[in-house]
């Protein structure tokens, strides 16, 4: 499992872009994790799936709500990562009204999730291999804080906890 001090895995996530610009075309665009994280402080949170109850009611809304405070604490970007495709993540972004506050990044084949070792097997519940629920603070591509939830929990990966750690 990834730990504090480790670099993020060199994989590609996908992001659905609604408006063409800044070199991004409309639709799914690749996000090279290493390049996108270079020289930045990023708050990353991951969760089992788009449109799932805790993820939609608490996890994403908390990061949208705390966006300005996280920026004030030195966070350049907030990323939400889920084992879903870019189209689903784009639809969920519209539903959650994340706008430019949270980058909703799809890990469709679970490459990022597997490389971090933060997988969650939900095969018995019909959802296959997913991401565990966690948050991390990443500075210049290296993990500086990591909060991994226990099974079925939502206690340490919330925005308020990561904000307090970013300030500290």
Residue count of the chain = 168
Round to whole Å and give the CA distance between 164 and 112: 26
- Asked if 42 and 145 count as a contact pair (C-beta separation under 8 A), the reply is no
Q: 55: closest CA among 123, 1, 131?
A: 131
If you write DSSP's letter for every residue of 51-78 in order, what string do you get? Answer: T-HHIIIIIHHHHHHTHHHHHHTT--EE
Round to whole Å and give the CA distance between 109 and 136: 21
Catalytic residue (one of 55, 80, 102, 120):
55
55 carries an active-site annotation: yes
- List residues with catalytic annotation: 55
């Amino acid at each position: 499992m990834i730990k504090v001090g480790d670099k993020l895995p060199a994989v590609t996530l996908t992001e659905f872009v609604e408006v063409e610009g800044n070199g991004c075309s409309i639709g799914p665009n690749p996000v090279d994790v290493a390049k996108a994280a270079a020289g930045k402080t990023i708050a990353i949170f991951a969760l089992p799936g788009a449109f799932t109850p805790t993820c939609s009611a608490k996890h994403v809304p908390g990061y949208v709500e705390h966006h300005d405070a996280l920026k004030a604490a030195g966070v350049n970007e907030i990323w939400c990562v889920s084992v879903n495709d870019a189209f689903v993540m784009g639809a969920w972004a519209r539903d959650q009204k994340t706008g430019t506050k949270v980058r909703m990044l799809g890990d469709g084949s679970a490459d990022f999730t597997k490389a971090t070792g933060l997988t969650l097997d939900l095969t018995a519940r019909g959802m296959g291999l997913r991401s565990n629920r966690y948050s991390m603070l990443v500075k210049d591509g290296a993990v500086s804080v990591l909060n991994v939830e226990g099974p079925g929990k939502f206690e340490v990966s919330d925005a308020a906890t990561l904000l307090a750690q970013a300030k500290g």
